[in-house]
Amino acid sequence: MAVALDATTPTTDNLADDNGQATKEIVQNEEIALPEDEERRLLRRIDGRLLPMLFLIYLMAFLDRANIGNALTLGLEEDLSLAGSQPNIALLIFFVPYIVLEIPSNIILKKVTPHVWMSLCMTGFGIAMLAQGFVTNYAGLLATRFFLGVFEAGIFPGSFYLISFWYKRQEAQTRYTVYFSSILLASAFSGLLASAIANMDGVGGKSSWRWVFILEGILTIIAAAMAFFLICDFPDQAKWLTDRERRFIHQKTKQDDKTADDKITLRDIGEFVKHLEHHVAALMYFCAIVPAYAFVYFVPTVIKTLGYNTVQIQLHSVPPYAAAFALCMILAVAIGRTDVRFPYYLLSSAIAIAGLAILLAVHDGFSVRYLGICLTVIGLQALVILCIGWYLVNLHGHKERSIGSAWMIGFGNMGGFVAPFAFLSKYKPEYRPGLSMCIGIAALGAATACAYAGLMVRKRRRMMAMGNASSTPLPSL
Protein backbone atom coordinates (compact mmCIF):
# COMPACT_ATOMS: atom_id res chain seq x y z
CA MET A 1 0.00 0.00 0.00
CA ALA A 2 1.44 3.38 -0.93
CA VAL A 3 2.29 5.77 1.88
CA ALA A 4 1.61 9.49 1.59
CA LEU A 5 1.85 12.46 3.92
CA ASP A 6 -0.98 14.74 4.92
CA ALA A 7 -0.95 18.43 4.23
CA THR A 8 0.35 19.30 7.68
CA THR A 9 3.73 17.69 7.08
CA PRO A 10 6.55 20.18 7.72
CA THR A 11 8.46 21.34 4.66
CA THR A 12 11.82 20.19 6.00
CA ASP A 13 13.12 17.83 8.62
CA ASN A 14 16.76 18.29 9.42
CA LEU A 15 18.08 14.92 10.58
CA ALA A 16 21.10 15.70 12.71
CA ASP A 17 23.12 13.56 15.03
CA ASP A 18 23.92 14.54 18.61
CA ASN A 19 27.39 15.79 17.67
CA GLY A 20 25.61 18.67 16.01
CA GLN A 21 26.76 17.50 12.60
CA ALA A 22 23.79 17.72 10.29
CA THR A 23 23.17 14.71 8.17
CA LYS A 24 21.51 15.14 4.82
CA GLU A 25 18.47 17.40 5.01
CA ILE A 26 15.36 15.60 3.83
CA VAL A 27 12.99 17.80 1.97
CA GLN A 28 9.35 16.97 2.50
CA ASN A 29 7.53 19.60 0.51
CA GLU A 30 6.16 17.00 -1.85
CA GLU A 31 4.20 13.84 -1.28
CA ILE A 32 6.28 10.67 -1.56
CA ALA A 33 4.46 7.51 -2.62
CA LEU A 34 5.69 4.22 -4.01
CA PRO A 35 3.69 1.63 -5.96
CA GLU A 36 2.92 -1.43 -3.86
CA ASP A 37 5.28 -3.73 -5.77
CA GLU A 38 8.11 -1.21 -5.49
CA GLU A 39 7.44 -0.78 -1.78
CA ARG A 40 7.58 -4.55 -1.27
CA ARG A 41 10.88 -4.75 -3.14
CA LEU A 42 12.29 -1.94 -1.01
CA LEU A 43 11.17 -3.70 2.17
CA ARG A 44 12.89 -6.92 1.06
CA ARG A 45 16.09 -4.98 0.33
CA ILE A 46 16.01 -3.44 3.79
CA ASP A 47 15.41 -6.84 5.37
CA GLY A 48 18.35 -8.30 3.47
CA ARG A 49 20.69 -5.46 4.40
CA LEU A 50 19.70 -4.78 8.01
CA LEU A 51 18.44 -7.93 9.69
CA PRO A 52 21.05 -10.63 8.91
CA MET A 53 23.89 -8.74 10.60
CA LEU A 54 21.79 -7.71 13.61
CA PHE A 55 20.62 -11.32 13.85
CA LEU A 56 24.23 -12.57 13.81
CA ILE A 57 25.37 -10.01 16.39
CA TYR A 58 22.66 -10.92 18.89
CA LEU A 59 23.19 -14.62 18.20
CA MET A 60 26.89 -14.27 19.06
CA ALA A 61 26.11 -12.11 22.10
CA PHE A 62 23.66 -14.60 23.55
CA LEU A 63 25.92 -17.52 22.64
CA ASP A 64 28.78 -15.93 24.58
CA ARG A 65 26.49 -15.13 27.49
CA ALA A 66 24.89 -18.56 27.84
CA ASN A 67 27.71 -20.96 26.95
CA ILE A 68 28.82 -21.05 30.57
CA GLY A 69 25.95 -23.51 31.04
CA ASN A 70 27.72 -25.90 28.66
CA ALA A 71 31.09 -25.21 30.28
CA LEU A 72 29.76 -26.18 33.71
CA THR A 73 29.06 -29.70 32.42
CA LEU A 74 32.52 -29.92 30.81
CA GLY A 75 34.52 -29.51 34.01
CA LEU A 76 34.71 -25.75 34.69
CA GLU A 77 33.29 -26.14 38.18
CA GLU A 78 35.84 -28.79 39.16
CA ASP A 79 38.89 -27.15 37.51
CA LEU A 80 38.28 -23.79 39.20
CA SER A 81 37.27 -25.44 42.50
CA LEU A 82 33.93 -23.65 42.59
CA ALA A 83 31.80 -24.49 45.60
CA GLY A 84 28.32 -23.76 46.88
CA SER A 85 26.65 -20.85 45.11
CA GLN A 86 29.83 -19.60 43.38
CA PRO A 87 28.72 -20.83 39.91
CA ASN A 88 25.41 -19.03 40.43
CA ILE A 89 27.14 -15.80 41.45
CA ALA A 90 29.31 -16.04 38.33
CA LEU A 91 26.09 -16.03 36.31
CA LEU A 92 24.58 -13.16 38.31
CA ILE A 93 27.58 -10.80 38.01
CA PHE A 94 26.95 -10.47 34.28
CA PHE A 95 23.63 -8.68 34.87
CA VAL A 96 25.00 -5.89 37.08
CA PRO A 97 26.65 -3.86 34.28
CA TYR A 98 24.27 -5.27 31.68
CA ILE A 99 21.26 -3.60 33.33
CA VAL A 100 22.98 -0.40 34.47
CA LEU A 101 24.66 0.39 31.14
CA GLU A 102 21.82 -0.32 28.67
CA ILE A 103 20.49 3.25 28.58
CA PRO A 104 23.93 4.98 28.62
CA SER A 105 24.95 2.71 25.76
CA ASN A 106 22.03 3.91 23.66
CA ILE A 107 23.03 7.50 24.34
CA ILE A 108 26.52 6.73 23.02
CA LEU A 109 24.98 5.03 19.98
CA LYS A 110 23.31 8.34 19.15
CA LYS A 111 26.65 10.13 19.41
CA VAL A 112 28.45 7.77 17.02
CA THR A 113 27.19 5.68 14.11
CA PRO A 114 25.69 2.23 14.83
CA HIS A 115 28.31 0.33 12.82
CA VAL A 116 31.11 1.86 14.89
CA TRP A 117 29.56 1.45 18.34
CA MET A 118 28.03 -1.98 17.88
CA SER A 119 31.14 -3.48 16.29
CA LEU A 120 33.21 -1.99 19.13
CA CYS A 121 30.88 -3.58 21.70
CA MET A 122 31.10 -6.87 19.86
CA THR A 123 34.89 -6.76 19.86
CA GLY A 124 34.81 -6.05 23.59
CA PHE A 125 32.64 -9.00 24.55
CA GLY A 126 34.59 -11.22 22.15
CA ILE A 127 37.81 -10.37 23.99
CA ALA A 128 36.09 -10.93 27.35
CA MET A 129 34.90 -14.34 26.14
CA LEU A 130 38.39 -15.23 24.90
CA ALA A 131 39.90 -14.21 28.25
CA GLN A 132 37.37 -16.42 30.04
CA GLY A 133 39.12 -19.42 28.49
CA PHE A 134 42.33 -18.56 30.36
CA VAL A 135 41.02 -17.86 33.87
CA THR A 136 42.57 -19.90 36.67
CA ASN A 137 40.38 -19.01 39.64
CA TYR A 138 36.97 -17.79 40.76
CA ALA A 139 38.02 -14.12 40.81
CA GLY A 140 39.14 -14.30 37.19
CA LEU A 141 35.83 -15.87 36.19
CA LEU A 142 33.90 -13.07 37.92
CA ALA A 143 36.01 -10.38 36.24
CA THR A 144 35.53 -11.76 32.73
CA ARG A 145 31.80 -12.29 33.26
CA PHE A 146 31.50 -8.69 34.51
CA PHE A 147 33.18 -7.24 31.41
CA LEU A 148 31.08 -9.51 29.23
CA GLY A 149 28.05 -7.73 30.69
CA VAL A 150 29.66 -4.31 30.15
CA PHE A 151 30.09 -4.80 26.42
CA GLU A 152 26.89 -6.76 25.74
CA ALA A 153 24.79 -3.99 27.30
CA GLY A 154 24.80 -2.02 24.04
CA ILE A 155 23.62 -4.78 21.71
CA PHE A 156 19.97 -5.37 22.61
CA PRO A 157 18.75 -1.76 23.04
CA GLY A 158 20.94 -0.57 20.18
CA SER A 159 19.41 -3.04 17.76
CA PHE A 160 15.90 -2.05 18.86
CA TYR A 161 16.65 1.61 18.38
CA LEU A 162 18.10 1.03 14.92
CA ILE A 163 15.20 -1.15 13.72
CA SER A 164 12.71 1.55 14.75
CA PHE A 165 14.26 3.94 12.19
CA TRP A 166 13.74 1.55 9.28
CA TYR A 167 10.24 0.12 9.74
CA LYS A 168 6.81 1.42 10.52
CA ARG A 169 5.00 0.03 13.55
CA GLN A 170 3.31 -3.02 12.03
CA GLU A 171 6.35 -3.97 9.95
CA ALA A 172 8.67 -3.77 12.95
CA GLN A 173 6.80 -6.30 15.08
CA THR A 174 7.54 -9.26 12.80
CA ARG A 175 11.18 -8.15 12.59
CA TYR A 176 11.43 -7.95 16.38
CA THR A 177 10.14 -11.53 16.64
CA VAL A 178 12.71 -12.76 14.13
CA TYR A 179 15.42 -10.83 15.97
CA PHE A 180 14.45 -12.30 19.36
CA SER A 181 14.44 -15.76 17.87
CA SER A 182 18.18 -15.55 17.30
CA ILE A 183 18.62 -16.44 20.98
CA LEU A 184 16.96 -19.77 20.29
CA LEU A 185 19.35 -20.54 17.45
CA ALA A 186 22.21 -19.42 19.70
CA SER A 187 21.12 -21.85 22.40
CA ALA A 188 20.77 -24.70 19.89
CA PHE A 189 24.07 -23.87 18.19
CA SER A 190 25.77 -23.66 21.58
CA GLY A 191 24.88 -27.28 22.26
CA LEU A 192 26.10 -28.43 18.85
CA LEU A 193 29.36 -26.51 19.15
CA ALA A 194 29.95 -27.67 22.72
CA SER A 195 29.39 -31.30 21.70
CA ALA A 196 32.11 -30.97 19.07
CA ILE A 197 34.47 -29.12 21.38
CA ALA A 198 33.96 -31.73 24.11
CA ASN A 199 36.23 -34.00 22.07
CA MET A 200 39.04 -31.43 22.29
CA ASP A 201 39.67 -32.14 25.96
CA GLY A 202 43.44 -32.06 26.50
CA VAL A 203 44.29 -30.45 23.15
CA GLY A 204 47.08 -27.95 23.72
CA GLY A 205 47.03 -28.92 27.37
CA LYS A 206 43.64 -27.22 27.87
CA SER A 207 40.34 -28.61 29.11
CA SER A 208 37.41 -28.73 26.70
CA TRP A 209 35.49 -26.04 28.61
CA ARG A 210 38.37 -23.62 27.98
CA TRP A 211 38.16 -24.33 24.25
CA VAL A 212 34.44 -23.47 24.36
CA PHE A 213 35.29 -19.93 25.47
CA ILE A 214 38.44 -19.55 23.34
CA LEU A 215 36.93 -20.67 20.03
CA GLU A 216 33.66 -18.81 20.52
CA GLY A 217 35.60 -15.70 21.53
CA ILE A 218 37.65 -15.88 18.33
CA LEU A 219 34.48 -16.37 16.26
CA THR A 220 32.96 -13.29 17.91
CA ILE A 221 35.98 -11.10 17.17
CA ILE A 222 35.94 -12.19 13.51
CA ALA A 223 32.21 -11.44 13.33
CA ALA A 224 32.87 -8.00 14.88
CA ALA A 225 35.27 -7.16 12.05
CA MET A 226 32.56 -8.12 9.56
CA ALA A 227 30.00 -6.08 11.47
CA PHE A 228 32.03 -2.88 11.11
CA PHE A 229 31.56 -3.04 7.34
CA LEU A 230 28.13 -4.66 7.12
CA ILE A 231 25.95 -3.04 9.80
CA CYS A 232 23.46 -0.59 8.34
CA ASP A 233 23.41 2.84 9.91
CA PHE A 234 20.37 5.12 9.84
CA PRO A 235 18.33 5.46 6.61
CA ASP A 236 19.57 8.97 5.82
CA GLN A 237 23.13 7.58 5.83
CA ALA A 238 22.39 4.60 3.55
CA LYS A 239 24.28 5.15 0.30
CA TRP A 240 22.63 2.08 -1.24
CA LEU A 241 19.27 3.89 -1.22
CA THR A 242 18.17 6.58 -3.62
CA ASP A 243 17.22 9.98 -2.23
CA ARG A 244 13.57 9.22 -3.01
CA GLU A 245 13.74 5.92 -1.09
CA ARG A 246 15.35 7.60 1.93
CA ARG A 247 12.61 10.21 2.01
CA PHE A 248 9.94 7.53 1.69
CA ILE A 249 11.35 5.50 4.62
CA HIS A 250 11.58 8.61 6.77
CA GLN A 251 8.01 9.62 6.01
CA LYS A 252 6.41 6.22 6.57
CA THR A 253 8.13 5.73 9.94
CA LYS A 254 7.00 9.18 11.03
CA GLN A 255 3.35 8.44 10.20
CA ASP A 256 3.01 6.22 13.28
CA ASP A 257 4.25 9.03 15.49
CA LYS A 258 2.34 12.31 15.32
CA THR A 259 4.05 13.71 18.41
CA ALA A 260 6.99 16.07 18.34
CA ASP A 261 10.43 14.64 19.05
CA ASP A 262 10.96 16.88 22.07
CA LYS A 263 13.45 16.00 24.75
CA ILE A 264 12.18 13.77 27.53
CA THR A 265 11.67 15.63 30.81
CA LEU A 266 11.07 14.57 34.40
CA ARG A 267 7.44 15.57 33.90
CA ASP A 268 7.18 13.04 31.06
CA ILE A 269 8.58 10.31 33.31
CA GLY A 270 6.20 11.33 36.09
CA GLU A 271 3.26 11.11 33.70
CA PHE A 272 4.45 7.71 32.49
CA VAL A 273 4.60 6.12 35.95
CA LYS A 274 1.00 7.15 36.66
CA HIS A 275 -0.31 4.55 34.22
CA LEU A 276 -0.81 1.10 35.71
CA GLU A 277 -0.44 -0.70 32.37
CA HIS A 278 3.31 0.01 32.23
CA HIS A 279 3.95 -1.58 35.62
CA VAL A 280 1.76 -4.60 34.85
CA ALA A 281 3.61 -5.15 31.56
CA ALA A 282 7.00 -4.90 33.28
CA LEU A 283 5.94 -7.48 35.86
CA MET A 284 4.69 -9.74 33.06
CA TYR A 285 8.10 -9.52 31.37
CA PHE A 286 9.90 -10.19 34.66
CA CYS A 287 7.80 -13.34 35.13
CA ALA A 288 8.82 -14.53 31.66
CA ILE A 289 12.51 -13.68 32.06
CA VAL A 290 13.18 -15.44 35.38
CA PRO A 291 12.28 -19.02 34.37
CA ALA A 292 13.53 -18.49 30.79
CA TYR A 293 16.98 -17.34 31.90
CA ALA A 294 17.12 -20.06 34.54
CA PHE A 295 16.58 -22.74 31.92
CA VAL A 296 18.95 -21.21 29.37
CA TYR A 297 21.79 -21.50 31.86
CA PHE A 298 20.88 -24.83 33.38
CA VAL A 299 19.37 -26.94 30.58
CA PRO A 300 22.68 -28.86 30.16
CA THR A 301 22.85 -29.39 33.93
CA VAL A 302 19.25 -30.60 34.09
CA ILE A 303 19.85 -32.92 31.12
CA LYS A 304 22.88 -34.29 32.95
CA THR A 305 20.52 -35.66 35.62
CA LEU A 306 19.07 -37.97 32.94
CA GLY A 307 22.32 -39.93 32.93
CA TYR A 308 23.83 -38.91 29.59
CA ASN A 309 27.56 -38.55 28.98
CA THR A 310 29.23 -35.22 28.21
CA VAL A 311 28.77 -35.24 24.44
CA GLN A 312 25.18 -36.52 24.67
CA ILE A 313 24.33 -33.77 27.16
CA GLN A 314 25.35 -31.07 24.66
CA LEU A 315 23.55 -32.76 21.75
CA HIS A 316 20.34 -33.24 23.74
CA SER A 317 20.25 -29.50 24.53
CA VAL A 318 19.74 -28.73 20.82
CA PRO A 319 16.22 -30.11 19.99
CA PRO A 320 14.31 -28.09 22.64
CA TYR A 321 15.61 -24.79 21.26
CA ALA A 322 15.17 -25.85 17.64
CA ALA A 323 11.52 -26.66 18.40
CA ALA A 324 11.10 -23.33 20.23
CA PHE A 325 12.51 -21.50 17.20
CA ALA A 326 10.00 -23.24 14.92
CA LEU A 327 7.10 -22.29 17.22
CA CYS A 328 8.21 -18.66 17.37
CA MET A 329 8.37 -18.44 13.58
CA ILE A 330 4.82 -19.80 13.41
CA LEU A 331 3.71 -17.27 16.02
CA ALA A 332 5.37 -14.45 14.06
CA VAL A 333 3.27 -15.30 11.01
CA ALA A 334 0.07 -15.70 13.05
CA ILE A 335 0.57 -12.41 14.90
CA GLY A 336 1.39 -10.60 11.67
CA ARG A 337 -2.00 -11.64 10.29
CA THR A 338 -4.15 -11.17 13.40
CA ASP A 339 -2.29 -8.58 15.55
CA VAL A 340 -3.38 -10.64 18.58
CA ARG A 341 -1.00 -11.99 21.26
CA PHE A 342 -2.96 -12.71 24.43
CA PRO A 343 -4.29 -16.19 23.46
CA TYR A 344 -0.81 -17.24 22.32
CA TYR A 345 0.64 -16.02 25.62
CA LEU A 346 -1.78 -18.17 27.61
CA LEU A 347 -1.07 -21.17 25.38
CA SER A 348 2.69 -20.74 25.82
CA SER A 349 2.24 -20.40 29.60
CA ALA A 350 0.28 -23.65 29.67
CA ILE A 351 2.98 -25.44 27.67
CA ALA A 352 5.75 -24.17 29.97
CA ILE A 353 3.90 -25.00 33.19
CA ALA A 354 3.06 -28.48 31.88
CA GLY A 355 6.73 -29.11 31.14
CA LEU A 356 7.82 -27.87 34.56
CA ALA A 357 5.16 -29.99 36.25
CA ILE A 358 6.45 -33.10 34.46
CA LEU A 359 9.99 -32.42 35.67
CA LEU A 360 8.73 -31.83 39.20
CA ALA A 361 6.58 -34.97 39.33
CA VAL A 362 8.59 -37.51 37.31
CA HIS A 363 12.03 -38.50 38.61
CA ASP A 364 12.76 -41.50 36.42
CA GLY A 365 12.03 -42.38 32.82
CA PHE A 366 14.36 -40.51 30.49
CA SER A 367 11.82 -40.00 27.71
CA VAL A 368 9.18 -38.42 29.94
CA ARG A 369 11.64 -36.09 31.67
CA TYR A 370 13.20 -35.07 28.36
CA LEU A 371 9.70 -34.29 27.06
CA GLY A 372 9.27 -32.07 30.11
CA ILE A 373 12.50 -30.22 29.27
CA CYS A 374 11.38 -29.70 25.65
CA LEU A 375 7.94 -28.39 26.64
CA THR A 376 9.45 -26.06 29.23
CA VAL A 377 11.97 -24.52 26.83
CA ILE A 378 9.39 -24.14 24.04
CA GLY A 379 6.85 -22.43 26.29
CA LEU A 380 9.24 -20.16 28.18
CA GLN A 381 11.07 -18.84 25.12
CA ALA A 382 7.78 -18.07 23.37
CA LEU A 383 6.65 -16.14 26.46
CA VAL A 384 9.63 -13.79 26.34
CA ILE A 385 9.11 -12.97 22.67
CA LEU A 386 5.34 -12.55 22.99
CA CYS A 387 5.55 -10.40 26.09
CA ILE A 388 7.94 -7.73 24.90
CA GLY A 389 6.41 -7.56 21.41
CA TRP A 390 2.93 -7.12 22.89
CA TYR A 391 3.98 -4.23 25.08
CA LEU A 392 6.13 -2.41 22.53
CA VAL A 393 3.40 -2.41 19.88
CA ASN A 394 1.10 -0.64 22.36
CA LEU A 395 3.50 2.25 22.98
CA HIS A 396 2.84 5.43 21.02
CA GLY A 397 4.95 8.48 20.45
CA HIS A 398 8.65 9.11 20.75
CA LYS A 399 8.60 9.73 24.50
CA GLU A 400 6.43 6.79 25.54
CA ARG A 401 8.45 4.38 23.38
CA SER A 402 11.75 5.64 24.75
CA ILE A 403 10.70 5.51 28.40
CA GLY A 404 8.58 2.38 28.08
CA SER A 405 11.11 0.19 26.31
CA ALA A 406 13.86 1.15 28.75
CA TRP A 407 11.55 0.57 31.73
CA MET A 408 10.35 -2.83 30.61
CA ILE A 409 13.74 -4.19 29.54
CA GLY A 410 15.47 -2.82 32.63
CA PHE A 411 12.87 -4.13 35.08
CA GLY A 412 12.60 -7.48 33.32
CA ASN A 413 16.33 -8.03 33.23
CA MET A 414 16.40 -7.76 37.00
CA GLY A 415 15.12 -11.30 36.70
CA GLY A 416 18.74 -12.07 35.88
CA PHE A 417 19.51 -11.58 39.57
CA VAL A 418 16.97 -14.27 40.50
CA ALA A 419 17.39 -16.81 37.68
CA PRO A 420 20.94 -17.99 38.53
CA PHE A 421 19.75 -19.19 41.94
CA ALA A 422 16.83 -21.26 40.65
CA PHE A 423 18.85 -24.46 40.32
CA LEU A 424 21.33 -24.66 43.20
CA SER A 425 23.66 -27.66 43.20
CA LYS A 426 22.59 -28.68 46.71
CA TYR A 427 19.12 -29.52 45.36
CA LYS A 428 20.23 -31.78 42.51
CA PRO A 429 19.22 -34.05 40.89
CA GLU A 430 15.51 -33.24 41.40
CA TYR A 431 15.81 -29.45 41.83
CA ARG A 432 12.39 -29.27 43.49
CA PRO A 433 12.68 -25.69 44.87
CA GLY A 434 13.81 -24.30 41.52
CA LEU A 435 11.12 -26.07 39.53
CA SER A 436 8.44 -25.00 42.03
CA MET A 437 9.64 -21.41 41.86
CA CYS A 438 9.53 -21.43 38.04
CA ILE A 439 5.99 -22.84 38.06
CA GLY A 440 4.83 -20.18 40.51
CA ILE A 441 6.43 -17.32 38.57
CA ALA A 442 5.08 -18.61 35.24
CA ALA A 443 1.59 -18.83 36.74
CA LEU A 444 1.94 -15.28 38.09
CA GLY A 445 2.97 -14.20 34.59
CA ALA A 446 -0.19 -15.72 33.11
CA ALA A 447 -2.32 -13.90 35.68
CA THR A 448 -0.45 -10.67 34.94
CA ALA A 449 -1.08 -11.17 31.22
CA CYS A 450 -4.80 -11.43 31.95
CA ALA A 451 -4.62 -8.16 33.89
CA TYR A 452 -2.73 -6.45 31.07
CA ALA A 453 -5.24 -7.69 28.50
CA GLY A 454 -8.04 -6.31 30.67
CA LEU A 455 -6.34 -2.92 30.82
CA MET A 456 -5.96 -2.90 27.03
CA VAL A 457 -9.64 -3.77 26.54
CA ARG A 458 -10.62 -0.89 28.83
CA LYS A 459 -8.28 1.46 26.99
CA ARG A 460 -9.73 0.42 23.61
CA ARG A 461 -13.25 1.12 24.82
CA ARG A 462 -12.25 4.50 26.22
CA MET A 463 -10.54 5.51 22.96
CA MET A 464 -13.52 4.42 20.88
CA ALA A 465 -15.90 6.32 23.15
CA MET A 466 -13.78 9.47 22.81
CA GLY A 467 -13.65 9.08 19.03
CA ASN A 468 -9.85 9.26 18.71
CA ALA A 469 -9.33 5.70 17.47
CA SER A 470 -8.57 6.99 13.98
CA SER A 471 -5.67 9.23 15.03
CA THR A 472 -4.02 6.68 17.33
CA PRO A 473 -4.05 2.92 16.68
CA LEU A 474 -6.15 0.91 19.12
CA PRO A 475 -4.17 -1.16 21.65
CA SER A 476 -3.31 -4.65 20.49
CA LEU A 477 -4.74 -7.62 22.37
Sign of the CA dihedral with 150 first, then 155, 157, and 161 last: positive
Q: Averaging pLDDT over each range in 132-141, 191-200, 389-398, which range is the top one?
A: 132-141
Question: Over the stretch 255-303, which tens digit does the pLDDT of each residue have?
Answer: 655 555 566 677 877 888 888 898 999 999 999 999 988 887 777 777 7
Q: What is the mean pLDDT of residues 357-383?
A: 88
Cβ-contact 182, 390 below 8 angstroms:
no
Distances in whole angstroms, Cα of residue 218 to Cα of each of 90, 129, 131, 135, 214: 22, 8, 10, 16, 6
- Greater confidence (143 vs 88) lies with 143
Average predicted confidence (pLDDT) for the chain: 81
Buried b / exposed e along 75-94 (16+ C-beta atoms within 10 A): bbbeebebeeeebbbbbbbb
Per-residue pLDDT averaged across 420-440, rounded? 85
| Whether pLDDT at 31 is above 70 | no
Each domain of the chain, given as residue ranges in start order, spans: 46-254, 265-470
Among 17-31, 290-304, 363-377, which stretch is predicted with the lowest mean pLDDT?
Answer: 17-31
Same fold, 46-254 and 265-470: yes
Domain 265-470 matching CATH 3.40.50.300: the answer reads: no
In CATH, the architecture of 46-254 is Up-down Bundle (1.20)
Give the model confidence (pLDDT) of 338-349 as tens digits.
778 899 999 999
Do 381 and 254 contact (CB within 8 A), yes or no?
A: no
Q: Is the pLDDT of residue 138 over 50?
A: yes
Task: Give the confidence band of 11 by pLDDT, cuts at 50, 70, 90.
Answer: very low
